[in-house]
Amino acid sequence: MRTIKGPAIFLAQFMGDKAPFNSLETICEWAASLGFKAVQIPTWEKRLIDLKLAAESKTYADELKGKINSYGLEISELSTHLQGQLVAVHPAYDTMFDAFAADEVKNNPKARQEWAVQQLMYGAKASQNLGLTAHATFSGSLLWHTFHPWPQRPDGLVDEGFKELAKRWLPILNYFDECGVNVCYEIHPGEDLFDGITYEMFLEKVNNHPRACLLYDPSHFVLQQLDYIEYIDLYHERIKAFHVKDSEFNPSGRQGTFGGYQSWLNRAGRYRSPGDGQVDFKTIFSKLTQYGYDGWAVMEWECCIKHPEDGAREGSEFIKNHIIRVTDKTFDDFAGGGSDVASNRRILGLD
């Protein structure tokens, strides 16, 4: 068993135009003051990192790491969630997902995808230069518009979709392997990898690639009514990153899992700050510890009610109180005696 590292915080939802959320230095000082031990860095946020430079210059990577260390913090992972989304985009979503891309590739799906792949490659090398072994991202999606089969899906459609997704990701996974870094897909609605079965289908198409790993976030599974505890039993060997985000599902006679096009505040399923929802984090931390997860517990704030600064302050303590320091002894050691083959055979009545 291993003791989970933490608490850490994903900075994406906290960046803004006002101090302390508008620069690397001030947001690190703020995070450290709340008791966080690491930050997960969104690589599209240029005020936090120059991703290309971090990939091309070990000196810059060392300086960035040193600056963050100076606040008593580490980097838990780099994130390319937005760029990973653009590795695979169905044309129906072109306009909305263009917002994730660099200006020079907008309105050009082919150039946008090539840009996204290059961003992932930079993410792999930058992670290696920073001494990281896990990288958080999304898979993108070609099939999401067909997740509810009406009209019915043509035979072979899903298989073809996963073949194409694998074709796009295999070169990226191979480069991550060269860099010694795991790709941790956040299993998420809107991605083609949105539950356990879709992850398994993808894994088959990439030949069970050793770097095709998981970012575990139970909040998405509550909204899908998926057993997020058994999920750990099934996939613990592939879980290399962990978001601590809460959620709740309160169905009514008017709406359920699809949400009725309502705002997050008015949906049956909605995200909450850690401890304010329905996720059983006590069991989750126990399971992950039991299976030897030794990565970071990273708070992600996406609450539709609570102020983010309150969520961050409470989230740091929440994670700290859930981390289990593993034991180095067995509780009944006091009653144990010596053992050897001869004595064991005597106990079995064999001598």
Residues 213-243 pLDDT 10s: 999 999 999 999 999 999 999 999 999 999 9
**What tens digit of pLDDT does each residue of 129-165 get?**
999 999 999 999 999 999 999 999 999 999 999 999 9
**What tens digit of pLDDT does each residue of 30-88 get?**
999 999 999 999 999 999 999 999 999 999 999 999 999 999 999 999 999 999 999 99
Average pLDDT score over the chain: 96
What pLDDT is stored for residue 89 in this prediction?
98
What pLDDT is stored for residue 117 in this prediction?
98
Name the β-bridge partners of 157: none
pLDDT higher than 80, residue 175: yes
- Letter string b/e over residues 316-349, b meaning 16 or more CB atoms within 10 A of that residue's CB: bebbeebeeeeeeeeeeeeeeeeeeeeeeeeeee
Which among 275, 220, 270 has a CA at the least distance from the CA of 250?
270
pLDDT class of 26 with cuts at 50, 70, 90: very high
What pLDDT is stored for residue 328 in this prediction?
84
pLDDT higher than 90, residue 103: yes
Q: Tell me the mean pLDDT in the region 302-311.
A: 97
DSSP 295-317: SEEEE----SSS-HHHHHHHHHH
Q: What are phi and psi of 36, to 5 degrees?
A: -70, 150
What pLDDT is stored for residue 309 in this prediction?
97
pLDDT higher than 90, residue 303: yes
CB neighbour list of residue 227: distance below 8 Å, 6 or more residues apart: 221
What pLDDT is stored for residue 342 in this prediction?
86
Return left, alpha or beta for 19; rule: phi > 0 is left, psi -120 to 50 is alpha, else beta: beta
pLDDT higher than 80, residue 119: yes
Question: How far is it, in rounded angstroms, from Cα 130 to Cα 214?
Answer: 20
Please write down the HEC assignment for all residues of 276-290: CCCCCHHHHHHHHHH
pLDDT higher than 90, residue 339: no
What pLDDT is stored for residue 192 in this prediction?
98
Q: Tell me the mean pLDDT in the region 107-134.
A: 98
**What tens digit of pLDDT does each residue of 274-289 get?**
999 999 999 999 999 9
What pLDDT is stored for residue 343 in this prediction?
85
pLDDT higher than 70, residue 334: no
Tokens describing residue 210: 């050793």
Burial of residue 45, with CB atoms counted within 10 A of its CB: 0-12 exposed, 13-18 middle, 19 or more buried: middle
What pLDDT is stored for residue 34 in this prediction?
98
CA 227 to each of CA 60, 221, 290, 322: distance values in angstroms, whole numbers, following the listed order: 43, 7, 18, 20
Q: In 3-state terms, what secondary structure has residue 226?
A: coil
Percent of the chain with pLDDT over 70: 99
The full set of domains in the chain, from first to last, is 5-347 (3.20.20.150)
Percent of the chain with pLDDT over 90: 93
